[in-house]
C-alpha cells in the first residue's frame, strides 16, 4: 500500500474542451485507486494546453495562468510534505477538510481587500497604471454597496454608475472606474470567487472621444521599438502590430489560421470572411507581419477582448504614447497607413472587408482632410 499520493496537473478531465469551449485545469491527487481533484480556477481552450511545454500555451496570459496552476499544486505538495515530515499517513478525509478550510478562508476575504491586493501584486502593469488603479479602492469603500463578492450584482453596478456621476465626474472618468472594476470582476469570476459577471450585457458610455482613433507612422514605430515590461505585454504588442499590418479586427485576429494563407505571385495572401459582417477580405502579409507569425510558430496567441484592451494601455504607456489605444485602433491605423502611402480607396476597402467603398470613404474622408491640413502646418 502506498502511504502518500501522487500529485499531477490535469486538463479537461471530462473531455469537453474544443477550440471554442474552454475546460478546467485541476490538480489531481491519486493514491491506491482513489482520486480527488482540486480546481485551479484556470480555464483554457484545447489548443491552449500542452503539459509538455509547461501547461498553458498560445495565450497572452500564459505566464500568469501557469503561475496560478503552479501555486495550487505547490500548496497541495506542501500539505503532503508536511504529513510526511510528521510521519502521518495521508488520509483523503482529512485532505478534504483541508480543502474546505482553504475555500472558507478564501470566502472570508472581502472583494475590496482582494482587489486591493491584486492591484499591488500584479506583474503585468506598469507602476503608473498601478497608481491610477489604486484610486478605485477608496471610491468603492466610499460607495459602500460593493464590498463582498456577493455584492457583485447588476443593480449595484448601475448604482455605482449613478454614484460616480453624482460626484461630478466626467463621463470618461466614470467609464475608467468601470473599466478598472470590470477587469477585477472578470478575474474573480475566472477564479471561481464570484458566480457571475454583473457587467455582462451592460452597455457603458465611454464619453466623447478626444481625437481620431489611429496612430501616426512615428507612433507605430515607437510601439515597434519600445521595450515591454513583461512577456505577456510583449505578446499583446505583437498582436496589436499584426492588426496594424493587416487591418484585421479583433475577432478575425483571434480566428487567424495559417491554413487560409496562400502564395500568389511571390506574396503570402490571407483570405477570409469577417466574422462581424461576413464580408470577404484579402490581405497581403508584409515582411513585418510574417516575422511576427514566424515568431509564434504561425499560431497567434489568444486573449479575451477585455484583457487585450486593458493590456494595450500598458503597451501605449511603455511606448510613451498618450492615447487611449484599443483593439480597433490597429484596424484604423492600417487603413490610414495604406491611404497615406498611395493605396487606392477601393483596395483599402477590400483589405478591410468593408461592405462597400462608401463605408471606407465615410470612415476615412474627414480624417484624410485633417491629415492634408496638418501636412501644410507651418507653411506660408
Q: What is the percent of the chain where pLDDT is above 70? A: 87
Where does the pLDDT of residue 58 fall: very low under 50, low under 70, confident under 90, or very high at 90 and above?
Answer: confident
Where does the pLDDT of residue 366 fall: very low under 50, low under 70, confident under 90, or very high at 90 and above?
Answer: low
pLDDT of residue 372 exceeding 70: no
Q: Are 260 and 272 in contact (CB under 8 A)?
A: yes
- DSSP 3-state assignment of 177? helix
Rounded average pLDDT over 248-271: 90
Phi, psi of 298 (to 5 degrees): 65, 25
In terms of Cα–Cα distance, which of 192, 198, 196, 197 is closest to 107?
192
- What's the DSSP call for residue 163? H
Which residues, listed in sequence order, are joined to residue 273 by a DSSP beta bridge? 280
How far is 281 from 265, CA to CA, in rounded Å?
18
pLDDT at 326: 86
Domain map (residue ranges) of the chain = 6-107, 111-190, 217-375
pLDDT mean across residues, the chain: 83
Which residues, listed in sequence order, are joined to residue 280 by a DSSP beta bridge? 273
How far is 305 from 188, CA to CA, in rounded Å?
17
Residues in the chain: 380
Cα 263–Cα 269–Cα 275 angle in degrees, nearest 5: 140
Q: Are 103 and 96 in contact (CB under 8 A)?
A: no
In terms of Cα–Cα distance, which of 152, 161, 286, 306 is closest to 224?
286
The pLDDT tens digits of the residues spanning 274-331 come to 777 777 788 889 899 999 999 999 999 998 887 888 888 889 888 888 888 888 888 8
Residue 48: all three cell numbers together: 491552449
pLDDT of residue 360 exceeding 70: no
Q: Are 118 and 57 in contact (CB under 8 A)?
A: no
What fold characterizes domain 217-375?
A: hpI Integrase; Chain A (1.10.443)
Phi, psi of 302 (to 5 degrees): -105, 145
pTM exceeds cut of 0.85: no
How far is 360 from 340, CA to CA, in rounded Å?
14
Residue 18: all three cell numbers together: 474544443
Where is average pLDDT lowest: 11-15, 80-84, 328-332, 359-363?
359-363
pLDDT of residue 380 exceeding 70: no
Task: Give the end-to-end CA distance of the chain in Å, rounded to a whole number.
Answer: 92
- DSSP 3-state assignment of 34? strand
The pLDDT tens digits of the residues spanning 12-57 come to 999 999 888 888 999 999 998 899 998 887 888 888 998 787 798 8
How far is 202 from 204, CA to CA, in rounded Å?
6
CA distances from 234 to 90, 319, 334 (A): 44, 12, 20
Which residues, listed in sequence order, are joined to residue 44 by a DSSP beta bridge? 23
How many CB atoms neighbour CB 376 within 10 A? Answer: 8
Where does the pLDDT of residue 365 fall: very low under 50, low under 70, confident under 90, or very high at 90 and above?
Answer: low
Long-range contacts, 124-130 (Cβ 8 Å, 24+): 124/64, 124/229, 124/230, 124/232, 124/233, 124/311, 124/314, 125/229, 125/314, 126/229, 126/314, 126/317, 126/318, 128/317, 129/313, 129/314, 129/317
- DSSP 3-state assignment of 8? strand
Residue 258: all three cell numbers together: 495559417
In terms of Cα–Cα distance, which of 128, 159, 312 is closest to 228?
312
CA distances from 141 to 115, 116, 168, 235 (A): 12, 11, 18, 35
pLDDT at 276: 72
The pLDDT tens digits of the residues spanning 117-165 come to 889 988 777 788 888 899 999 999 999 999 888 888 888 899 999 899 8
How far is 324 from 172, CA to CA, in rounded Å?
11
The pLDDT tens digits of the residues spanning 183-213 come to 999 888 877 778 788 888 788 877 655 456 7
Which residues, listed in sequence order, are joined to residue 159 by a DSSP beta bridge? none
Q: Are 230 and 124 in contact (CB under 8 A)?
A: yes
Amino acid at each position: 500500500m502506498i502511504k502518500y499520493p501522487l500529485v499531477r496537473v490535469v486538463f479537461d478531465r471530462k473531455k469537453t474542451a474544443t477550440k471554442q469551449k474552454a475546460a478546467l485545469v485541476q490538480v489531481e491527487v491519486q493514491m491506491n485507486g482513489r482520486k480527488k481533484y482540486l480546481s485551479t480556477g484556470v480555464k483554457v481552450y484545447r489548443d491552449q494546453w500542452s503539459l509538455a511545454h509547461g501547461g498553458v500555451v498560445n495565450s497572452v496570459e500564459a505566464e500568469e495562468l501557469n503561475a496560478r496552476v503552479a501555486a495550487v499544486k505547490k500548496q497541495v505538495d506542501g500539505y503532503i510534505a508536511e504529513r510526511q515530515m510528521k510521519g502521518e499517513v495521508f488520509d483523503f478525509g482529512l485532505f478534504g477538510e483541508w480543502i474546505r478550510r482553504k475555500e472558507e478562508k478564501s470566502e472570508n476575504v472581502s472583494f475590496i481587500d482582494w482587489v486591493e491586493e491584486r492591484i499591488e501584486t500584479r506583474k503585468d502593469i506598469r507602476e503608473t497604471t498601478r497608481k491610477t488603479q489604486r484610486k478605485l479602492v477608496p471610491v468603492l469603500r466610499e460607495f459602500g454597496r460593493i464590498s463582498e463578492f456577493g455584492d457583485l450584482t447588476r443593480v449595484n453596478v448601475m448604482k455605482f454608475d449613478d454614484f460616480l456621476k453624482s460626484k461630478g465626474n466626467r463621463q470618461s472618468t466614470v467609464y475608467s472606474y468601470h473599466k478598472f472594476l470590470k477587469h477585477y470582476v472578470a478575474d474573480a469570476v475566472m477564479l471561481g470567487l464570484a458566480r457571475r459577471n454583473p457587467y455582462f450585457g451592460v452597455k457603458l458610455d465611454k464619453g466623447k472621444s478626444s481625437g481620431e482613433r489611429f496612430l501616426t507612422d512615428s507612433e507605430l514605430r515607437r510601439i515597434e521599438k519600445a521595450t515591454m515590461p513583461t512577456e505577456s505585454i510583449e505578446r499583446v504588442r505583437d498582436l496589436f502590430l499584426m492588426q496594424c499590418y493587416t487591418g484585421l479586427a479583433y475577432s478575425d485576429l483571434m480566428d487567424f489560421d495559417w491554413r487560409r494563407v496562400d502564395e500568389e505571385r511571390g506574396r503570402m495572401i490571407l483570405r477570409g470572411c469577417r466574422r462581424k459582417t461576413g464580408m470577404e477580405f484579402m490581405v497581403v502579409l508584409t515582411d513585418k507581419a510574417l516575422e511576427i507569425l514566424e515568431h509564434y510558430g504561425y499560431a497567434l496567441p489568444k486573449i479575451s477582448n477585455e484583457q487585450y484592451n486593458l493590456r494595450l494601455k500598458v503597451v501605449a504607456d511603455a511606448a510613451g504614447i498618450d492615447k487611449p489605444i484599443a483593439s480597433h485602433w490597429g484596424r484604423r491605423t492600417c487603413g490610414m497607413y495604406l491611404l497615406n502611402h498611395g493605396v487606392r480607396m477601393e483596395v483599402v476597402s477590400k483589405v478591410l472587408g468593408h461592405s462597400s467603398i462608401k463605408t471606407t470613404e465615410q470612415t476615412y474622408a474627414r480624417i484624410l482632410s485633417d491629415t492634408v491640413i496638418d501636412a501644410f502646418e507651418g507653411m506660408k
